[in-house]
Chains A and B, each alone.
Chain A
Amino acid sequence: MRSRAVLLEAWRTALSSRAFSVLFAGLTAAVVLAITMLTAQVEAQRESVRAAFEQERFRTVSLVDSHDKGVLPATMHARVGSLSTVTRAWSSSESFEVWNGALADGARVSAQMVDARWDRLPLTLTTGRLPAGPGEVLAEDGSATALGVDETGGWVEDATGRAWSIVGTFRPDHDRAPRSVIVPWQAPTPVRQVTVVAASMSDVDAVTRAAAGLADVSGPGDLTVERSDDAAALGGDVTSTIERYAVVIVATVMGAGVLVLGLLSLLMVHTRRQEFGRRRALGAGRGAVIGLVVAQGVLVISCGAVVGALLGSVAGAALWAQVVDPSLQASVVVATVMLAVTAQLPSAVLAGLRDPVRVLRTA
């Protein structure tokens, strides 16, 4: 038989054997649909993890003069902040205690001086305004409550007798933002810490190196770098764990599908034994019969795989707003078709090896 004739005959046979064709195509569509939906879901979870670890707190790096050697220049935050890969940067002093100047034995809270463009700090004003001069401070909501200060304002003082008016309260945007009471910078306060926010996770390493390069470091322990390495690594671990589970699930779905297809194919060959015997008797060679079974499988299974991929794409977009990579989908379709056809091979060979005489005599 010519190849074109085999394909045409296989297609006609597929159309006339509707029950098996629907079973084969339906099962293949279900397998590809499941894999495509799983891929879309994994991609959505990966996006979600990536987005979670793109938050500012994971892009924030603090360089700390841990031995108070004055290794951090006063202009450092301004120089680092001018980099295109940096969202914002600020310097802060060592913490000191302040208390409500109007209360004799009020609670003490920590304060630190901050040198920055105040409108660029990662905090949200809840009452009042930003400080306009050196005598004004902001208090975190919780600190204001601890100090006994309400929205009408108040003032704080420290042990050296310095006093500041509280002109507003704030909520830090994340756990690495300035906290408690923040005081405008007053020279010549030594810089204890410079905090830098990189524009993206991929910039964090370069920003850290650039910032550290500006420090007057003389020994290995002079500068401590604090960053969310662990959190970022955890994000990577979560993503790779999700992917590993996905691979196991895909392999299981594919394996089970292929096994069922193989068994269905054996059943099909058994129920069509008279047909194969007739074809052999009328002049079809073993190769032609095997080719017919395989071609029928390829055609039906391919149709099922394409339908499954399309349905999977629609489901992925509807449920997780994910468009599965078309090249990945094409790979899934090709792999599924190849595996399914491989699973059909034993039954195709069995069909080709059927003794036509035995079949004709028991028809």
Chain B
Amino acid sequence: MADALALGLADPGAGTRPRVVAERLSYGYRRGVRVLDEVDVALHPGSVVALTGPSGRGKSTLLYLLAGLLRPWSGTVRIDGVELARLDDRHRSLTRARTCGFVFQDVVLDPRRRVIDSVLEPALYAGESPERWRPRALELLAAMGVALQADSRPGEVSGGQAQRVGLCRALLLGPSVVFADEPTGNLDHDSTEVVLAALEGAARGGAVVVIATHDDRVVERCTSHVRLA
């Protein structure tokens, strides 16, 4: 069972209205066994928040709860003042598509599509024309150093390149919240730098970036730190 312990790192958004607020959040995967118990989190625009803690203490679970992918047993999650639990599935999904970017621990690209199609995928669910976002997608791929792989299939790119593609997908629509689950877990130093720089860039643009990680290098780069103990 994990409680949140917010550590006092410099938070550039402190003093502004929090964008993501979780109050008394509890959740478990089995009846009677809580993974998270009464967790409170307030995440401000421009902050890069590290979620740390031993394995099994609910880092990924907290990400999924904050993104509205899981329904909490108790407590509430608000993004920009909207309580996710009060939305039906369609509106909650649409909010996630338009507001959140997700970097998965395993990249999960569509193996049958080209890399550029995977990057454009969130536009579909946000009700946008993917074609309209193609220039932005190519720009992101270029910034991440994987522009040459735009027409490749996921099987033709390395793990590091795939993770950068996943990050491009998460950042495509300029989300106000970016959730990253162990985004540097399988990456070399250079790729880690590229990924972290991109996440920091998103935060500088006003997004909240939440990173679940074990990596001390990542924690050091974050502006605040929530440890699940």
- Residues of A that sit less than 8 Å from B by CB: 1-2, 5, 9, 12, 16-17, 274-275, 277-288, 356-357, 360-361, 363
Contact B98 A283 (CB under 8 A): yes
Q: Which residues of B contact A361 (CB under 8 A)?
A: 60
Some 10 contacts from A to B, beta carbons below 8 A apart, are A278-B104, A281-B69, A283-B96, A283-B97, A284-B93, A284-B125, A285-B92, A285-B93, A285-B94, A287-B90
B89 interface contact, C-beta 8 A = yes
Residue of A nearest to B122 (CB): A282
Residue of A nearest to B99 (CB): A283
- Quick one: which of B62-81 are within 8 Å of A by CB? 64, 67, 69-70
Smallest distance from the beta carbon of A293 to chain B beta carbons, Å?
15
Q: Which residues of B contact A9 (CB under 8 A)?
A: 124
Q: Which residues of A contact B106 (CB under 8 A)?
A: 360, 363
B31 interface contact, C-beta 8 A = no
B17 interface contact, C-beta 8 A = no
Residue of B nearest to A362 (CB): B106
A interface secondary structure, majority: helix
Q: Which residues of B contact A288 (CB under 8 A)?
A: 93, 125
B94-122 near A? 1/0 per residue, CB < 8 Å = 10111010101110101011000100011
Smallest distance from the beta carbon of B107 to chain A beta carbons, Å?
9
A157 to B105 alpha-carbon distance, docked (Å): 114
A9 to B112 alpha-carbon distance, docked (Å): 13
Smallest distance from the beta carbon of A77 to chain B beta carbons, Å?
82
A1-B124, A5-B124 known; A283-B94 Cβ under 8 A: yes
B127 interface contact, C-beta 8 A = yes
A283 to B90 alpha-carbon distance, docked (Å): 9
Smallest distance from the beta carbon of A285 to chain B beta carbons, Å?
4
A128 to B214 alpha-carbon distance, docked (Å): 115
A277 to B125 alpha-carbon distance, docked (Å): 13
B126 interface contact, C-beta 8 A = yes
Q: Give which listed residue, A5, A284, A287, A360, contacts B104 with CB less than 8 A.
A: A360
A1-B127, A16-B113 known; A282-B69 Cβ under 8 A: no
B127-138 near A? 1/0 per residue, CB < 8 Å = 100000000000
A12 to B60 alpha-carbon distance, docked (Å): 32
Residue of B nearest to A361 (CB): B60
Q: Which A-B residue pairs are the 4 nearest by beta carbons?
A: A283-B97, A283-B125, A16-B112, A285-B93
A288 to B93 alpha-carbon distance, docked (Å): 10
Contact A357 B70 (CB under 8 A): yes
Q: Which residues of B contact A5 (CB under 8 A)?
A: 124, 127
A282 to B67 alpha-carbon distance, docked (Å): 10
Q: Which residues of B contact A2 (CB under 8 A)?
A: 127
Residue of A nearest to B121 (CB): A282
Contact A279 B69 (CB under 8 A): no
Q: Which of B97, B104, B108 has the most chain A CB atoms inside 10 A of its CB? A: B108
